[in-house]
Amino acid sequence: MIARVAAKAGFHEAGRPLLSAERKASISAWASKCGWAIISVGMFALIWELLWAVGLADPKLLPPPHVFLGNFVEQARNFNTAQRWQIGAGVAAGPTPWEAVGITILSSTGRVFTGLLLAAVGSIVLGVSIRYSGWAERLILPTVTLLAPVSPVAWLPVAIFLFGIGNGPAVFMVFIALFFTMTLSTIAQIDAVDRNFINVARTMGATKRQIYARVVVPAILPGLLVVLRLNLFGAWMVVLVAEATGVGYGLGQVIMLARNTFNPSLVFFTITLIGLLGFGFDWLLRKVQARVLYWVPENKVIAGV
């Protein structure tokens, strides 16, 4: 008996590795994922470069990555910032190239984020009230159902009428693009809540309010975060469209500028930025998901990279 205890203790003393096996496995899985991502993108870039080297890809139309990523300073000059729109500021005046790109990225990101947040909060509140109160349902649901399928692009003039130019219309566009569909999907999630959960609360004497606050809302959160993630790309698209049509400066506006001045290098440079941003955002949301929804097993949180 004593020997066994001692052996056990000894095992713990000597046998504990620096990193637990689990942690090691997760690090190596992550490294292999990264490795494949690099190989995948690298291969794509290599093919592009090869096509350019043998003269198949015209650098004036399809400049290869080393061209459009190589002249950062040159590209950055096209990233307008608010200052350059000000009367009296010269073309040369303004922030450094890094600042210019950074400000542009931040302003687009901020719009996506703000719109997303407003739409998420608004749609949860509205969706829950529609299911909570019969009156809310009868008064509001038909309108929401009618407006949900309207393409966000159709709202663009409304955004401009209401908010003019600047952040307002772009945020409004993101909001409107997500709000109605997310409201409907909140309602669908509420209807799909496990009846047993609700019955448990009922047998314990829960009021309707308690059932909503303590059962329905926690139960629909995982599904809603998935919906939020799926709509993230839509939000980016809408912001780019809004910026491109001149309701604000930002990445969309840079793309439009590139189009008008026939600058393929700038297009691809901006596309690279947008791709990286979209990826980063998705990653962030997944982290939030894992954090907030600790009870949902990782592999159930929608398969992804």
CB of 211 to another protein, least distance (A): 9
CB nearer another protein, residue 32 or residue 199? 199
CB nearer another protein, residue 153 or residue 206? 206
Two tokens, residue 13: 């003393």
Distance (Å, whole) CA 222 – CA 302: 10
- Within 169-290, strands assigned E span none
CB nearer another protein, residue 86 or residue 207? 207
CB of 301 to another protein, least distance (A): 13
Distance of CA 149 to the CA centre of its chain: 21
CB of 288 to another protein, least distance (A): 16
Distance (Å, whole) CA 13 – CA 43: 47
Residues contributing to the site for another protein (CB under 8 A): 194, 196-197, 199-206, 210, 214-215, 218-219, 293-297
CB of 220 to another protein, least distance (A): 11
CB of 209 to another protein, least distance (A): 10
Distance (Å, whole) CA 152 – CA 234: 10
Distance (Å, whole) CA 28 – CA 22: 10
CB nearer another protein, residue 144 or residue 215? 215
Distance (Å, whole) CA 65 – CA 68: 5
CB nearer another protein, residue 223 or residue 252? 223
Contact status, residue 189 vs residue 224, Cβ threshold 8 Å: yes
